[in-house]
Amino acid sequence: MNDIQEYYLINAFADIVGIAAQNLRRLDRRGIFKPHHIDEKGCRYYSHEQITEVEKVRDKVRPRKITPPVAMRERLGYERNDISKVMGCNVCSFTNYERGLTEPSLEFIEDLAKVYELPFAEVQAAFDAVRKPSSRKTDFEHVKAEAMPNRWSDKDMPAPMLVRNKTGLTRPFVCATLDITEHSLFGYEKGLQPVTLEVVEALVIIYDVSFNDLKQAFDAMRNPHGRKLKQEFIRSGNNNNAATPVELREKSGLTREQVCEALDLFPTTFTRYENGSWPVTLEVAEDMALLYNVSFNTIRKIFAPLSKMPELEDVKYIDRQSIWEKSITQPMALRQRIGFSQKQVYQAIGSGRGAFPSYEKGNSEIPLDIAEDLAKLYDVSMDEIRKVFADVRKSRKRKPNFELMKVIKLKTIIQKGTQKYTQKNLMLKQGQ
């Protein structure tokens, strides 16, 4: 090799003949079309005569699919491997995004726009162009027609939920305080599942209301399920001095089997109520009071030591208004301002029941297509959607390395300059 300027580097040769560099490497490995020579560093060089020779093997090259995201990246002169490193994701994932096989997140597009130094809308449009039809079924018009007020009215709100809202406490805060799931508390408030006695006792302390008022609220939501107390088993007498559920039953002169028949419970269920393995439900506790002929306060006193609820002595001194404001994220506030419930939204955009709350709380990155659907549903701009979801963004697994982009830009500039210099000198030499 006397003068490397007489030859094209593989990237320059690829630009001239219109075949991707990776395809040229593949033809070389298969022995179909080899470069003129390869230097000691492994760089491939092609001669000017090979420009015409490559036409003979063009039919052996798979046609290259250049999608808008790929065209945008190549127009800027960046390699896929380099950009994937900057973005903090593997090459396979980045390739799937560019081909439209996987939907990128809103956060990913924002980071990519920052890397490319392009407007967000331009990068968004490029990825929208390769999007495949979604399996989600959206129904905006129907939901908009049934849009509810920002909050449930007092008339429509379930009684237990109304009590909680009047205290200024949110469901997430109550659940965190009692160490129960939001799904469980929602089920109690809506009457979808029977509330336990220990939960009602704890809520009385948190809400700072009387036990009877809260009990009436839950009684209003009770769904009859066919279990009825059998009157023939009810005992007379005074058993108010019993200390444990077992002692109370024994003083009433009833066997475990009789109580299970009277309360229409499985023996294993009742045994767990008595030994404290399971919290007794409010409804069963009321029936026990009737069965044993004791006051309901006696039942509360007997089952209180079995409660597994955390200590709640300092809850009365909390800043309720502050808790309410802190628990409402910006995406939630936007949704409530528009007048949609969470259920309406995830049904309208076809999102999963558990996925959408995770987006609103910032626990998961929201996909770009869902963010666009939310903008349509809420009738706001993408800039507004980006703003509200940026406020709840938490630390992420994907960590971009924007500093690396400076090195890549320098490498790209040098590479482009080298290719142009090589081609210019070759043409001058041929002209001589």
| Percent of the chain whose pLDDT exceeds 70 | 82
Most confident of 189-203, 314-328, 391-405: 189-203
CATH number at residue 20: 1.10.1660.10
Pair (332, 301) in one structural domain: no
At residue 162, what is the residue type?
A: L
List 37's β-bridge partners, or say none.
45
CATH number at residue 368: 1.10.260.40
Dist CA 32 CA 20 (whole Å): 15
Write down the pLDDT at residue 145. 60
Tally of structural domains, the chain = 3
Pair (385, 330) in one structural domain: yes
Name the domain boundary from 306, 339, 370: 306
Render pLDDT for 54-85 as a digit per residue (tens, 0 to 9): 877 877 776 666 789 998 998 888 888 889 99
The answer as to whether 10 is a domain residue is: yes
Which residue, among 172, 202, 203, has the nearest Cα to 186 in the 3D structure? 172
Write down the pLDDT at residue 413. 67
Angle, nearest 10°, between helix axes 171-178 and 197-207? 120
Render pLDDT for 291-304 as a digit per residue (tens, 0 to 9): 888 889 999 999 98
> Between 227 and 73, where is the model more confident?
73
Dist CA 223 CA 246 (whole Å): 28
Pair (247, 277) in one structural domain: yes
- The pLDDT of 94-104, averaged and rounded, is 91
Mean pLDDT of the chain: 81
60 to each of 13, 28, 33, how far by Cα in Å?
17, 12, 10
Q: Which domain holds residue 238?
A: 231-306
Pair (291, 235) in one structural domain: yes
Render pLDDT for 6-23 as a digit per residue (tens, 0 to 9): 688 888 888 778 787 888
Which residue, among 81, 90, 86, has the nearest Cα to 112 in the 3D structure? 86
Residues 104/113, Cβ–Cβ less than 8 Å: no
DSSP string, 362-403: TSSPPBHHHHHHHHHHHT--HHHHHHHHHTT----S----TT
pLDDT-derived band at 392 (thresholds 50, 70, 90) equals: confident
Render pLDDT for 127-182 as a digit per residue (tens, 0 to 9): 999 988 877 887 777 666 655 444 455 666 788 988 887 877 777 778 878 888 88
Pair (237, 293) in one structural domain: yes
- The pLDDT of 178-193, averaged and rounded, is 86
Name the domain boundary from 247, 273, 306: 306
Write down the pLDDT at residue 211. 92
Write down the pLDDT at residue 4. 44
Which residue, among 170, 190, 150, has the nearest Cα to 335 in the 3D structure? 150
The answer as to whether 132 is a domain residue is: no
Write down the pLDDT at residue 24. 86
The answer as to whether 60 is a domain residue is: yes
The answer as to whether 173 is a domain residue is: no
Name the domain boundary from 306, 336, 366: 306
Order of strands across the sheet that contains 44-46:
8-9, 44-46, 37-38
The answer as to whether 349 is a domain residue is: yes
The answer as to whether 83 is a domain residue is: no
Render pLDDT for 308-321 as a digit per residue (tens, 0 to 9): 888 776 555 555 55
Write down the pLDDT at residue 133. 83
pLDDT-derived band at 323 (thresholds 50, 70, 90) equals: low
Angle, nearest 10°, between helix axes 159-167 and 182-190? 120
pLDDT at 341 over 50: yes
The answer as to whether 237 is a domain residue is: yes
pLDDT-derived band at 369 (thresholds 50, 70, 90) equals: very high
Which residue, among 177, 172, 221, has the nearest Cα to 199 in the 3D structure? 177
Write down the pLDDT at residue 331. 84
The answer as to whether 249 is a domain residue is: yes
- Which has the minimum average pLDDT: 98-107, 218-227, 248-257? 218-227
Write down the pLDDT at residue 63. 62
